[in-house]
Amino acid sequence: MTEQTSQNLLEELPGDLMMWVLIISELLIFGAGLVVFLSLRISDPAGFAEAQSQLHRTGAALNTIILITSGYLAAIGLRLNLAAQRGAARLALIAAAALGVVFLIIKLAEYADKAAQGITYDTHPFFMFYYLLTGFHAAHVIAGVLVLLLVAWRDTPENIEMGAAFWHMVDLVWVLLFPVIYLLA
Amino acid sequence: MIKSDALTRAWVVLIALSGLSAVVSTMMDRGFDTRIMGSVVLALALMKARIILSRYLGLADAPSWRRGFNLTLTLFCLLLLGLYLFPQL
């Protein structure tokens, strides 16, 4: 590959290169977690299926809709900002962050329900990975909500593009995490 | 005018694919072949991931990167499918 080709490839990439490095790193971490999770399932598929039946799929499915819609609002926020509609862009970003908070409330209710049933991380290896992967993802949601509010305040197009890209990464991870943890019986 | 039509279409398709995933998982509960339904669930997840990359993250305007991401994601989902199906072989 020539230097010119490499340069063109980097120029083709939308947004900031470092944000893409972060996105790829996060995808690799969560991807490795999912591979280990399904590898462990091989030794005890019945136990994993039994443990999975304790989860609330409806709440998690609702959270998928919430994150997808939140990602849409964040992307709209960037478009509006680029069209010099700063007020509307800020509203879209704040709405995206608010949906992130709704996601967390549903997730907390799910954890509280598990705690009430006496289910902890050491109940079964399934739950260890369930808490590890969904908890790590929830931590990213908290960070994403803060980032969205920050870029709604400091609303340069570059800031919003980076903030929205982080949020889309959180969204992307969830659409891969959700079916593996909640649906693949 | 804000160019959001492709974005809105992507959002609608993502919602529809999520609904389809819910229907398929219900079918799994009702005794349909989990190998087939599980494969469909992963295929739907792959489609959603590709749409998020293309439309939300903007790789639709970077075809070389989109091809690379799509290929990697497809291989990753095939690995997940293999691990999922392995105990049932």
Mean pLDDT confidence for A97-102: 98
Q: Per-residue pLDDT for B43 more than 90? A: yes
Q: Which two tokens stand for residue A128?
A: 């260890």
User: For chain B, which residues lie within 8 Å of any Cβ of chain A, measuring from their own Cβ?
Assistant: 2-4, 7-8, 10-11, 14-15, 18, 21-22, 24-25, 28-29, 34, 38, 41-42, 44-45, 48-49, 52-53, 55-59, 61-65, 76, 79-80, 83-84, 86-88
CA distance B59 to A85: 24
Q: Per-residue pLDDT for B2 more than 50? A: no
pLDDT at A1: 55
Indicate the average pLDDT of chain A. 94
For residue B80, the chain A residue with the least C-alpha distance is: A35
| Contact state of B80 with A165 under an 8 Å Cβ cutoff | no
Torsion A163-A103-A136-B13 (CA) sign = negative
User: What confidence tier does A98 reach under pLDDT thresholds 50, 70, 90?
Assistant: very high
| Contact state of B58 with A15 under an 8 Å Cβ cutoff | yes
| Closest among A133, A29, A38, A65 to B38, alpha carbons compared | A38
The boundaries of the domain holding residue B73 are 5-88
**DSSP 8-state code for residue A123:** S
User: What confidence tier does B30 reach under pLDDT thresholds 50, 70, 90?
Assistant: confident
Query: How is A26-67 classified by DSSP, letter by letter?
Result: HHHHHHHHHHHHHHHHTT-HHHHHHHHTTS-HHHHHHHHHHH
Mean pLDDT confidence for A117-137: 95
| Contact state of A75 with B55 under an 8 Å Cβ cutoff | yes
Mean pLDDT confidence for A31-36: 97
pLDDT at A14: 87
Phi-psi domain of A115 (left: phi exceeds 0; alpha: psi -120 through 50; beta: other) = alpha
| Contact state of B48 with A175 under an 8 Å Cβ cutoff | yes
**Domains of chain A, earliest start first:** 51-183 (1.20.120.80)
For residue B24, the chain A residue with the least C-alpha distance is: A183
User: What confidence tier does B4 reach under pLDDT thresholds 50, 70, 90?
Assistant: low
Q: Angle B34-51/B5-29 helices, nearest 10 degrees?
A: 170
**Which residues in A59-96 are b (16+ Cβ under 10 Å) and which e?**
ebbbbbbbbbbbbbbbbbbbbbbeeeeeebbbbbbbbb
CA distance B86 to A80: 47
Judging contacts by C-beta atoms under 8 Å, the chain A residues touching residue B23 are none
Q: Per-residue pLDDT for B34 more than 80? A: yes
A44-78 per-position pLDDT tens digit: 999 999 999 999 889 999 999 999 999 999 999 99
A131-170 per-position pLDDT tens digit: 999 999 999 999 999 999 999 999 999 999 999 999 999 9
pLDDT at B1: 41
What ipTM does this complex have? 0.92
